Amino acid sequence: MNVQRGVRVSQRTIEVGMGSVSQQDVVAVARHDAPVRLAADALAALSATRARIEALAASDQPVYGVSTGFGALATRHIPVERRADLQRSLIRSHAAGTGPEVEREVVRAMMLLRLSTLATGRTGVRPVVAETYAALLNAGITPVVHEYGSLGCSGDLAPLAHCALTVMGEGFVRDAAGVRRPSADAMAEAGIEPLTFAEKEGLALINGTDGMLGQLILAAHDLAGLLTTADITAAMSVEALLGTPRVFAADLQALRPQPGQAAGARVIAAMLEGSPIAASHADNADHEYPIVQDAYSLRCAPQVSGAARDTLNHCRWVADNELASAIDNPVVTLDGRVESNGNFHGAPVAYALDFLAIPVADVASMSERRTDRLLDVKRSHGLPPFLADDPGVDSGHMILQYSQAGIVSELKRLAVPASVDSIPSSAMQEDHVSMGWAAARKLRRALDGLTRVLAGEALSAARALDLRQSAPAPATSAVRDRIRQVVPGVGPDRFLAPEIETVVDLVRSGALVDAAEVVTGPLG
């Protein structure tokens, strides 16, 4: 899933300092290769806390991750001469991911977020470690990370270990051209020196929620655009089904002051402003198809998309809190203590990821119901069966709705939370985990499904508007016309799959929102 709309693509350098990275910055670096640099305050903080770690390393005091083993092996004291081996072995053993490669944008987001935590100066790594992460991002070198390996607790261990392995000059990467290569070769070509990790550094690179957080931020960005698209397609369907725009009036929405609902109703009302179709049946008593109340999938569209917006805003708040965090274990406190903690537990992010999967499924479910209504001659108020050119000879959009139904069914399964599960690990030392990475992976799949369902509704609603006697509203006409630039209008059955995929690309890119906003002004 990759919705590009809403991020200004530029070469603005993202300065990574102490809590300075925003959600927009993450999208810019992950998707648009915005360059990064470490802020002066970050470099100073890194140097100061590294001095504290080196002092502890020279003492007899046992410190987790500095002079001890890890997890259930934390009781083992590691002599000074073996501590580089300790960090190297940690990364090699934890880079145990398996399955398909994770998307480039996810890995870049993860690396930026780990760099952001390093820049707080609370992890105790040397400045050169943070500088190497920044250099890899700027060179477009992306570690190969695999689908499975994180339980969302003790950090996204395996995914982050694959990134750290690259810093050591080991494992595999995709270079800026997308070619899979040995890390050492790509780094040498870019002039980046591999590192040998000192005390605590390997541990500091894997104890974070960066993988699941990066995916939450990307998902939140994408869903915001999709919810505006859902209101646009809802307006098109309301108009094509001879629904009334009166239910979206601001005074009716104000009777239930949910902010997301009001926002959704404003979008739909703006889309239907000046609709000759709506005007043609404003007086139901004189119309061929008198309608007392529209079906819920039409009348309640802003209630559902609005609740999704409010859920999204909560999840963005969680992401902002996480961006302001310094997650590591142990952590170097402001007064110089090195303390173990549980901040690496992914529950806050995991719950947000699972939460978003619920409205994604519900918005798609309502969209599919509107499409089905457009195709059903008994409920479409005068439209031909399945919007077919010659019903019986032609099947029209009959099977398009089948595809939507299959996706919606899967989205309901994907809405089942991952975070309610936990499997103990590390010989019961890590006896409760968040499964946040799994929640993130299924949310990305769910967003792709919602994109495809909305595309199906847009394609069908555009065809239905073509079949009405009166002209659509200026805004819905603009969206219909944008679709017509790439997909022909009414006619005998054609190979439908490519047309659906073309409109999927329009939805994913935000092109339908852009077309509407030429008429309405900003909608999101």
Relative orientation angle of helices 83-94 and 157-167, to the nearest 10 degrees? 120
Distance CA 433, CA 154 (A): 8
Distance CA 504, CA 510 (A): 10
Single out the catalytic residue among 64, 133, 296, 351: 64
Distance CA 252, CA 262 (A): 9
Identify whether the C-beta of residue 233 lies closer than 8 Å to the C-beta of residue 454: yes
Residues in the chain: 524
**Amino acid of residue 352:** A
Distance CA 431, CA 153 (A): 10
264 to each of 145, 308, 367, how far by Cα in Å? 38, 10, 14
Identify whether the C-beta of residue 434 lies closer than 8 Å to the C-beta of residue 151: yes
Which run of H or of E encompasses 101? strand 98-101
**Whose CA is closest to 116, among 299, 328, 302?**
328
Active site residue 64: yes
Which run of H or of E encompasses 99? strand 98-101
Please state whether beta strands 142-143 and 172-174 pair in parallel, antiparallel, or not at all (unpaired): antiparallel
- Point out the residues that are catalytic: 64
